Structure 1
Amino acid sequence: MTKSLLNHQKKLKQLKLIKRTMKKHINKITVVLLLIVTGWANASEQQRTLPVYEIPNSKKILETPSQQFPELKFKDETGNIISLKSLRGKVVFINLWATWCPPCIHEMPSINGLRNTFKDNDDLIFLMVDMDNKIEKSKAWMESNNYDLPVHVMDSRLPRELFSGSIPTTIIVDKQNNIVARHVGIADYNSPEIIELMEKLLNEKL
């Protein structure tokens, strides 16, 4: 057997070894890619099937004990300052929100529905407090979505007991200026439970 033939056979063996090695690694890479793609697909499927928002039981909003924060002040669309103390004798619905907040936007129809439910009762006051302090922007957003909800911004510090930094946060105040309910997160505010609570608070005497 000539030297050239031996060299040729040696090269063939080397090529076969290289092919086997490459095939082995390619198979591993293929498996990894399949796992990644399958995992991503499964995760995407789970994301599609999970609810975007979970509306909690509205009854949970009634668990907050009474407190008073009469020093709270708000500024309305015209620049007028309104203190919580000046609203004594009224039931006050305060919602801390922002136009960029999806959960805030998600619950807005129910808040607007609650306002419409009691539209003939002047003793129920709604304060939609834009936490970005961009009252013109939030007012335009309300109008573009056909919501009849007055926009305000804070004109005083919010106590930590009322605002943990999360929005939406909703606070309900009775005629005595007591905080009777505080809820962090979205809720259905036009539910029978909340309507019943509002009727009870509105019927209370000073």
Structure 2
Amino acid sequence: MKHLLLAAAAALFSATAALAGGPQGFTLHETPQEVPNFRFVTDEGNRLYLEDFRGRTVLLNVWATWCPPCVEEMPTLDALEGALGGPEFEVVAVSIDRAGIPVVRRFFDEIAVENLDIYVDSTGLTATALKTFGLPATLLINADGKEVGRLMGPAEWDTPEMIAFIEDHIK
């Protein structure tokens, strides 16, 4: 039994050693990881796939309107998109609200979101596909469509430190 515990501890240490830290607890992978190609819809009801963003760096945020930490961080994600969004980078905030587009649209209107597009996966399969446990969950995906790292829980996305961190990964 002792050998099993030591082996498990060694495996955990090795896995942890393969990760480097970023701002606000952002965990970076030693090598970029594959990301499943999942589907969601736009405000107009058009289907999109994560793969449609290939060629751009993406900050993928999985969230819901009923999640207090998600609600708290949404203005900073909007500000980050306003600061860095363009042909090379986009914040893709995918709501997993079962009520779909209307509830997300109403929420965006209430908090005056100006820069983010509405993306919704009312099936919730996005969170399952990405193996996220809890909300919000945010993945940084490079232009090749690979996960560079992730942050579980809320963050202040519009701080100078976080903006510099994201800019370094856009280059």
TM-score class, shorter-chain normalisation, is 0.7 to 0.9
State the percentage of identical aligned residues: 26
Q: Deviations over 1:9-35 (max 9, x none)?
A: xxxxxxxxxxxxxxxxxxxxxxxxxxx
Q: Deviations over 1:125-147 (max 9, x none)?
A: 22221112321111111012111
* Aligned 8 A contact 1:70 1:83 in 2: no
Kindly indicate which of the two structures has a greater share of residues assigned to helix.
1
Q: Which contiguous aligned blocks of 4+ residues in structure 1 show a shift greater than 6 angstroms?
A: none
Aligned equivalent of 1:157: 125
**Aligned-pair distance for 1:166?**
0.6
Provide the secondary structure at the position in 2 that maps to 1:199.
helix
Q: Deviations over 1:10-62 (max 9, x none)?
A: xxxxxxxxxxxxxxxxxxxxxxxxxxxxxxxxxxxxxxxxxxxxxxx834214
> Could you tell me the TM-score, scaled by structure 2's length?
0.74
For the pair shown, the structure with the greater C-alpha radius of gyration is 1
Residue correspondence of structure 1 range 93-112 to structure 2 within 5 A = 93-112=59-78
**Unpaired stretches in structure 1, ≥5 consecutive residues:** 1-56
Greater CA drift, 85-94 or 160-169: 160-169
* Aligned 8 A contact 1:93 1:127 in 2: yes
**CA 1:197–1:95 in 2, change beyond 3 Å: closer, same or farther?**
same
Q: Count matched residues.
A: 146
- Which of residues 158, 161, 171 is equivalent to 1:193? 161
User: Over aligned residues, Cα RMSD in angstroms?
Assistant: 2.3
- Which of residues 163, 167, 181 is equivalent to 2:135? 167
Kindly indicate which of the two structures has a greater share of residues assigned to strand.
2
Residue correspondence of structure 1 range 3-152 to structure 2 within 5 A = 58-65=23-30, 66-119=32-85, 121-133=86-98, 134-148=100-114, 149-152=116-119
Greater CA drift, 185-194 or 173-182: 185-194
